[in-house]
Amino acid sequence: MGELNARDEWIEKWRQKHDIAEPEFVDGAYSQAIDEFLRYFNGNLNQFSFETTLLGTEFQKQVWKTLEEIPYGEQWTYKDIAKSIGNIKALRAVGGAINKNPISIAIPCHRVIGSDGSLTGYASGLDHKRFLLHHETASEHWLHQTS
């Protein structure tokens, strides 16, 4: 219980520091998100549509928006993301923003791989990233790219 209170206090201080309004809770939003995740994992949804208000820097939000543009079943590199946001030299910053992604899967940071096709960091672990990529491609030939 102490950890939750500490987290809530930190969030409240961060929210006030960045002059962010108190969160609004929309009726039905949670059930819509749950429904979409179930549809995704059952292979019946390729893109999430539930509404979110993401808390982050403008740069992080720009990177997260770009992640949403990666088509289902495809992978982009960190360099692709940096090019897409118009700052090819921002590879490390892009990686840092991806690392702070608050809604992995829905904001598909698992679709980002190394320039050599290798799997790179994923907050939930590389096994989960591998699972998600395989889930989206459903290809037996996919694993050679990211082993």
pLDDT at 16: 84
Question: Could you identify the residue written with the tokens 């698992």?
Answer: 110
Q: How confident is the model at residue 114 (pLDDT cuts 50, 70, 90)?
A: very high
Query: For all residues of the chain together, what is the average pLDDT?
Result: 87
pLDDT value of position 2: 63
Higher confidence at residue 3 or residue 128? 128
Q: Residues with catalytic annotation?
A: 109
| Alpha-carbon gap, residue 98 to 82, rounded angstroms | 11
Instruction: Choose between 7 and 140: higher pLDDT.
Output: 7
Distances (CA, A) of 50 to 53, 61, 93, 137: 10, 17, 27, 23
Q: Are 63 and 32 in contact (CB under 8 A)?
A: no
What's the average model confidence in pLDDT over 119-138?
A: 90
pLDDT digits (tens, 9 = 90+) for 33-47: 999 999 999 989 999
Q: Is the pLDDT of residue 141 over 60?
A: no
134, amino acid identity: H
pLDDT in tens, 40-92: 999 899 999 998 888 889 999 999 999 999 999 999 999 999 999 999 999 99
For residue 147, the model assigns a pLDDT of 42
Look at residue 19 in the predicted model and tell me its pLDDT.
78
Mean pLDDT of the 136-143 span: 64
**pTM for this prediction:** 0.79
Cβ distance 64 to 107 under 8 Å?
yes
